[in-house]
Chain A
Amino acid sequence: MLVLENVHTHYGKIEALHGVSVEVNQGEIVSLIGANGAGKTTLLMTVCGSPQASSGSVFLEGRDITHAPTASIMRSGIAIVPEGRRVFSGLTVEENLHMGGFFNSKAEIRKSQDHVYELFPRLKEREHQRAGTMSGGEQQMLAIGRALMSKPRMIILDEPSLGLAPIVIQQIFEIIGQLREEGITVFLVEQNAHQALSLADRGYVLETGRIRLHDTGANLLANPDVRNAYLGG
């Protein structure tokens, strides 16, 4: 589904990714864990084409998107939930969702909107509330719902647990599991390594711009190095 081959990414002269190869297969949940500054967000941004990879290639469903413009990548069946939620705080919940289905027909929007409300009944309750006035967990639900509005085949989540209460994180991860049931491929980037790895089919460990480890989620959880570095021993 999504393949990164030996990707190098630069911010100006500084190289942030030193040849990263990652593969996400259809229907999987793949987690990418790593410390602050390891390059997790850079990797996601490279997939989205902002900044573009300076060498190596990115393939989405077999199509080379390494040098495609961001807007066209984001319209081709992939959706991203950006770090820190980034809902449109002045718009209502409903308007936020409609923005998510910007390029779809009205009928499609209505259908996906009902579906999102099914996944997150909480959003239905707050349909006409301004997004900025909601709690962090609700905003995260809205951000995920907004990403789902374009009916993506693959969804990328950047730190969905950031700054949320443990119980809310639990709910969010349940929903992510549910997305896999629906056949949506999930690429999850997390600092919350334990939860991310228990849910994932496979996982990658990113360290200072390089992939250090790559294994199934369960194996990584059991790996002593990973336990030491990311799970607190």
Chain B
Amino acid sequence: MAANNVRHAFFSALITLIISYPILGLNLEAQGISVTLTGADTSTVIAIFIAVIVVFVFQLFRERLMDKIRELPILSARAHKEPMAENKRAKIESWIITGIVVLALFWPFFVSRGAVDLATLVLIYIMLALGLNVVVGLAGLLDLGYVAFYAVGAYTFALLAQYADFSFWMALPVGACLAALFGLVLGFPVLRLRGDYLAIVTLGFGEIIRILLNNWTTLTGGPNGIGGIPDPTLFGMEFGRRVKGEGNTSFHDTFGIAYSGEHKVIFLYLIALVLAVFTAMVIRRFMRMPVGRAWEALREDEIAARSLGLSRTAVKLSAFTIGAFFAGFSGTVFASKQGFISPESFVFLESAIVLAIVVLGGMGSQIGVILAAIAVTILPELAREFSEYRMLIFGAAMVLMMVWRPQGLMPMRRIHIELNRQE
């Protein structure tokens, strides 16, 4: 509680003022052709002033406040709870997961169309995050260009549909495999790199793909994107009002029910759900296979892993390839859901969001990553009422999260410590 604290608090308050006044207080107004700068009105100035004081006081007493919060009964009780037995826990977990999946299967029939649409987006992010979790969480390779593989999947479907009349189900494996191939190709040059350097190269790769899509106008349509991407069909049944494909029938005619736009939305949601569950199961399987242990070993200590005869090349490439595969997977679903894609959907922010999901969820933890994907996708939607401040709230939530639980929502559980009774 020395002068140090006061100085720190003062600077924090000053920064708050410097940042918030130009953003909230100054307005650019167009008057004819000239633009004038107008100052803030009184209420905004008062609000900024209050915010500055709050920041100052909070920073001044931060340490004491944090200690108080840590002593709260809810938090300390959880910390001291004894862990459940491993097998019992696994059993309960698998029941809960089955229950949630069954609920998720029937849930769309009772809610609004918008909610189902949002849920489909959540599922796409879950697939993406599970894939990136392999690369970042398990193998420990920081990949900032993950969205590139997502774009490869989406564009593969869009282009195949446009030029070769591929349906969703034909394009799904092709898109995923092509993305995996890109993962493999990117993997080779970056094998020797680690940490920051790897991050920069992957970041560059992500941009290359996006810029390529943007500029290769003859093939990809450039910034105009590609539209008219077909919806998925169910055994040759289409969900549109009129049948487009040859030899197809329409869903509502076959079952003799009235046409409803909701059918398509729900069907897409169900496809995304099935694919997300498939992704989770396949990756879970990988984690338990030797290759999963090899990823972890390489993340923990590269030299030790190599001394045991693990090939750095094979382990890293497999992580990159599998991660990219599932990104391609979700990309195909995304293209089908949107019906239209353009390079704008694959900017760096997408990579950053998926990475944020993995880190928030707890690196390597599947359940944590799924929860984080739900939270990160839905939170900005819930905060929509605050309109322009929603990203601010989102950012604040992330900062708070990292302060209180730096290990993520549900950190990967590999701890099975048995207490030593001897000694």
| Genuine A/B complex | yes
Interface residues of A (CB under 8 A from B): 48, 50, 69-75, 79-82, 86-92, 95, 98-100, 102-103, 125-130, 146-147, 150
B417 at the interface (CB under 8 A from A): yes
The one of B304, B309, B310, B314 that contacts A86, using a Cβ cutoff of 8 Å: B304
Asked whether, in the complex, the Cβ of A125 is within 8 Å of the Cβ of B297, the reply is no
Complex-state Cα separation, A220 to B309, whole angstroms: 34
Given contacts A91-B300, A92-B414, 9 further A-B contacts (CB under 8 A): A70-B306, A82-B303, A87-B304, A91-B296, A98-B293, A99-B305, A125-B420, A129-B417, A150-B309
Contact in complex: B304, A102 (CB < 8 Å): no
> How many residues of chain B get a CB closer than 8 Å to chain A's CBs?
26
Residues of B contacting A88 in the complex (Cβ-Cβ under 8 angstroms): 296-297, 300-301, 304
Query: In the bound complex, do residue B418 and residue A69 qualify as a contact, i.e. CB atoms below 8 Å apart?
Result: no
The one of A50, A69, A82, A92 that contacts B304, using a Cβ cutoff of 8 Å = A82
Give chain A residues whose Cβ lies under 8 Å from the Cβ of B304.
82, 86-88
Sample (30) of A-B pairs whose CB atoms are under 8 Å apart: A70-B306, A70-B311, A71-B306, A71-B309, A71-B312, A75-B309, A79-B307, A82-B303, A82-B304, A82-B307, A86-B301, A87-B301, A88-B296, A88-B297, A90-B296, A90-B414, A92-B416, A92-B417, A95-B293, A95-B414, A102-B310, A125-B420, A125-B422, A126-B420, A128-B417, A128-B418, A129-B418, A130-B415, A147-B307, A150-B309
Whether B290 contacts A102 by the Cβ 8 Å rule is yes
**A75 CA to B308 CA in the complex, in Å?**
7
How far, in whole Å, are A125 and B418 apart by their CA atoms in the complex?
A: 10
Inter-chain contact A103/B309, CB cutoff 8 Å: yes
For the complex, give the distance between the alpha carbons of A220 and B392 in Å: 71
Question: Is B55's beta carbon under 8 Å from chain A?
Answer: no
Interface centre among A48, A70, A89, A150 (most CB of B within 10 A): A70
B294 touches A102 (CB 8 A): yes
Note all chain B residues with C-beta closer than 8 A to A79.
307-308
In contact, B293 and A102 (Cβ under 8 angstroms): yes
Q: Which of A86, A91, A103, A127 contacts B303 (CB 8 A)?
A: A86
Report the separation of the CA atoms of residues A75 and B310 in the bound assembly, to the nearest whole angstrom: 8
**A-facing mask of B93-115, CB < 8 A → 1, else 0?**
00000000000000000000000
Tell me, in angstroms, the Cα distance from A95 to B296 when the chains sit together.
11
Assuming the contacts A69-B311, A99-B293, A102-B294, asked whether A50 and B416 have C-beta atoms less than 8 A apart, the reply is no
Could you say which residues of chain A place their CB within 8 Å of the CB of B312? 70-71
| CB neighbours of A89 from chain B (8 A) | 300-301
Q: Which residue of A lies closest to B421 (CB)?
A: A125
Assess whether B309 is in contact with A74, with CB atoms less than 8 Å apart.
Answer: yes
- Could you say which residues of chain A place their CB within 8 Å of the CB of B314? 71
Shortest Cβ distance from residue B414 to the other chain A in the assembled complex, whole angstroms: 7
Taking a contact as CB atoms under 8 Å apart, the answer to whether A90 and B309 are in contact is no
A74 to B308, CA, bound (A): 6
Closest residue of chain B to A128 (Cβ to Cβ) is B418
